[in-house]
Amino acid sequence: MLLDRQTVYLLLGSNLGERRQLITDAIDYLEKEVGVVKGISSFYETAAWGKEDQPSFLNIAVEVETRFPAEEVLEKILSIEKELGRIRHEKWGARLIDIDLILYGNEIIDIPGRLQVPHPQMQYRKFVLVPLTEIAGNVVHPVLGVEISEILKSLADNLPVIKV
């Protein structure tokens, strides 16, 4: 089902294999499967979050204009992850590619065990907010009612996030 155009923000990350190439390949798939890629942040090197005994991540934020509903976007990004070799072994474990749906327009979606938008942890994670602020700093978080750049300014997370 196609809808009116909607702006979606995604966070892409990789900490295994050819990280930059995997992320670039994921962007190509997003363009083919999800919609028009309108913005891409710089690449950021970040220490692993949640499970620290693993390689560091390369992360970027991507803005995509889509006509698919949020659940269909989720299905498509899960399919892209699988196509690029992701196998889900453990929560927060090392991975070839990770694509998280961070924002879907200004919608609030809560399908228990399936999809929560805005991403329920985004406001606590510097590795999400730094690249997202670069491309969407003035976007307002639909639940908190605050711009993304303002959330970043008040963030307690001191995890290093380094532009590379």
Sorted by where each begins, the domain ranges of the chain are 6-163
Its CATH architecture, for the domain 6-163, is 2-Layer Sandwich (3.30)
**Tell me: the pLDDT tens digits for 54-106?**
789 999 999 999 999 999 999 999 999 999 976 655 555 567 899 999 999 99
Q: Is 117:71 a contact under the CB 8 Å cutoff?
A: no
pTM, rounded to two decimals: 0.93
**Tell me: the pLDDT tens digits for 9-44?**
999 999 999 999 999 999 999 999 999 999 999 999
Q: What pLDDT band is residue 149 in, cutting at 50, 70 and 90? A: very high
Residues that are catalytic: 86, 95, 98, 100
> Residue 154: what pLDDT?
94
- Contacting residues for 64 by C-beta, under 8 A, at least 6 apart: 7, 8, 9, 10, 30, 34, 35, 36, 37, 38
In angstroms, the CA 67 to CA 148 distance is: 24
